[in-house]
Amino acid sequence: MPNRPTYLDHSAKSFFRFPDNNWLPIALLIIITFIALFPCLGLGFVWWDDQWYLLNNKALDAFAHTWSWGAVHRFFVTSGYGNYIPLTMCTYAIEKYFFAPDPYLNPFLFHLDNVLLHIGCTLCVFFLFLQFNIKKWSSFMGALIFGIHPMRVESVAWVTERKDVLYALFFLLALIAYVHSLKGKREVLWYFLAILCSLLACFAKVQAVSLPLCLVAIDFYLKRKWYSPQILLYEKLPWWIFSLGFGLVNVNILKTQKILGSAGMRMHYSLIDKLATGAWSYVVYIAKFIYPWQMQPYYPYPLHPPLIAYIFLVALPLSIVALLWWQRRNRSLIFGIIFFTCNIVFVLQILSASDVFMVDRFTYVAYIGLCFLAAIAVNKAAESLPNTRLFLFSAIAIYITFLCFLNGRQVQVWQNTPSLWAHYNAANPTSYYGYGQLGGYYRSRALHKFWESFQPANDAYLVKLSVYNYSMALAKDSINGCPIPQVTARLYNERASMYILSGLTEPAHNDSLKARHIMQQPSH
């Protein structure tokens, strides 16, 4: 391959062999990250996609009894609930076939695998930073911040987000293999290994389409002629093909399921509104890396973007351009910013592919760019201020302890469905969404018990909880005062089913009439 950087550490070992003096930070990363996320092993499932992706997924039923290659094939030729994630579905199938025929009885296994995959990602971050010639303990600090950061909890504690930790693992392995391919030793082997890992990352989650941009950023950081056609186009051709192909597949799925652009239309956002909201989200994501406050599973669109969003729309690009010009010789800073931006720009919801304008889990890979900057900062501080190392590492230890504390508190939010949505409702007292989710959760439990016993009286408490939460959701109604007819009608219909289960036919009839009337109204 052309223009290989000559300063790379050629003594670095391959994926499976490490210098002896690296085993201590490796061991500490494994132990600390595992301890920080150990409470995840005691979590249950949550009524927020876990039921669709795993628990009640008919596509996985066959694996409770036998291995089905036909079902595996269907994972690769169909979409699942707005996502093309065949490799992720395969991991569920393997777990179900070998260890958990009834996932309801064994949430521990699925949480354990998420934790182990996350630890693998954390180690890969450490190895990647070493490949960039960042010193061992500075690389350790950067990787540790990634491993225990509270914004990682959603991807690890939520079984549905297996796709995050799985795609990130192959994404990082692809980056490491790519850097190895630049060393001039078995370069072809490493190059094709990078392509394979990239393909697996795309099969795990479409967010991996940012890979070629990250590779170009690495070329820039390693002082290659990244802009030359031979490197930018010819060498990167497989990755451009992957990104285009998987991107088009996902856009088609979103259009087919009428998801793309839906939230923006509901909130009547103009293009300027969407761009301003994207700029606002970008800045908030960076702020939450430093101080992760008010983490939520769901950030509903405001009825109108706040004034500060429009300020960021102007100030953010100007600030980035000014910073990059001022620090144009600082490749580390530019690389960190580019890496973060490349992995967050596609999920800023400018196209409004969901009902939320910001999502904690979308930062899973993007934060690696900010962790890289943290590692570089520690590296430079330790070298330029040798007399203050004790103070520096004491401050880092305090910050790490603070992140661990927030991490533990955030894990408890994901304990079960009621704890998750109680947390959301407390933070969003005007939103319908959490109450609607709780209504659906208790409704599902009540119906399950009813079909087991055919005795509605046994389910009275669950029915009351369901009716209460549906009533609260209807009182708040849709997204911040902007009703969505389909949502309102669904809430009425589902509450009606609970009235029927209680033998209250008149309220059930009234709810059904209201739902029918809403759906018959002309759409605006």
Whether 342 and 436 map to the same domain: the answer is: no
Whether 316 and 460 map to the same domain: the answer is: no
Whether 368 and 472 map to the same domain: the answer is: no
Could you tell me if residue 70 is inside a domain? yes
| C-alpha dihedral sign at 224, 227, 229, 234 | positive
Whether 260 and 377 map to the same domain: the answer is: yes
Instruction: Provide the residue-wise pLDDT of the chain in tens; the chain has 524 residues.
Output: 545 554 454 444 444 445 557 899 999 999 999 999 999 999 999 989 999 899 988 899 989 889 989 999 999 988 767 788 999 999 999 999 999 999 989 999 999 999 999 999 999 999 999 999 899 999 999 999 999 999 999 999 999 999 999 999 999 999 999 999 997 778 899 999 999 999 999 999 999 999 999 999 999 999 999 889 999 999 999 999 999 999 888 878 777 765 555 544 456 788 898 899 999 999 999 999 999 988 999 888 887 889 999 999 999 999 999 988 888 889 999 999 999 999 999 888 777 656 788 999 999 999 999 999 999 998 888 877 777 778 888 888 999 999 999 999 999 999 999 999 999 999 888 888 899 999 999 998 888 777 665 555 557 888 999 999 999 999 887 655 567 788 889 999 999 999 998 888 999 999 999 999 888 876 55
Whether 208 and 83 map to the same domain: the answer is: yes
* C-alpha distances in Å from residue 438, one per residue of 48, 209, 317, 421, 442: 10, 34, 41, 7, 6
Whether 193 and 141 map to the same domain: the answer is: yes
Domain C-terminal end among 386, 417, 448: 417
Could you tell me if residue 12 is inside a domain? no
Whether 361 and 438 map to the same domain: the answer is: no
- Length reported for the chain: 524
- Who contacts 244 (Cβ-Cβ below 8 Å, separation ≥6)? none
Asked if 207 and 344 touch (Cβ cutoff 8 Å), the reply is no
Q: Which pLDDT does position 469 carry in this prediction?
A: 94
Q: Which pLDDT does position 301 carry in this prediction?
A: 83
Could you tell me if residue 98 is inside a domain? yes
Whether 142 and 271 map to the same domain: the answer is: yes
Could you tell me if residue 141 is inside a domain? yes
Could you tell me if residue 207 is inside a domain? yes
Supply φ then ψ for residue 514, to 5 degrees. -65, -45
Whether 255 and 397 map to the same domain: the answer is: yes
**How far apart are the C-alpha atoms of 354 and 359, rounded to whole Å?**
10
Whether 401 and 495 map to the same domain: the answer is: no
Q: Which pLDDT does position 441 carry in this prediction?
A: 93
Q: How many structural domains is the chain composed of? A: 2
- 441-450, Cβ contacts within 8 angstroms, sequence gap of 24 or more: 441/47, 441/417, 441/466, 442/466, 442/469, 443/470, 443/494, 443/497, 443/498, 444/47, 444/51, 446/498, 446/501, 447/497, 447/501, 450/501
Could you tell me if residue 133 is inside a domain? yes
Q: Which pLDDT does position 495 carry in this prediction?
A: 94
Could you tell me if residue 68 is inside a domain? yes
CB atoms within 10 A of CB 393: 15
Domain C-terminal end among 417, 452, 487: 417
Whether 494 and 450 map to the same domain: the answer is: yes
Domain C-terminal end among 369, 386, 417: 417
Q: Which pLDDT does position 368 carry in this prediction?
A: 97
Q: Which pLDDT does position 375 carry in this prediction?
A: 95
Residue 478 domain boundaries? 429-520
Whether 103 and 220 map to the same domain: the answer is: yes
Could you tell me if residue 15 is inside a domain? no
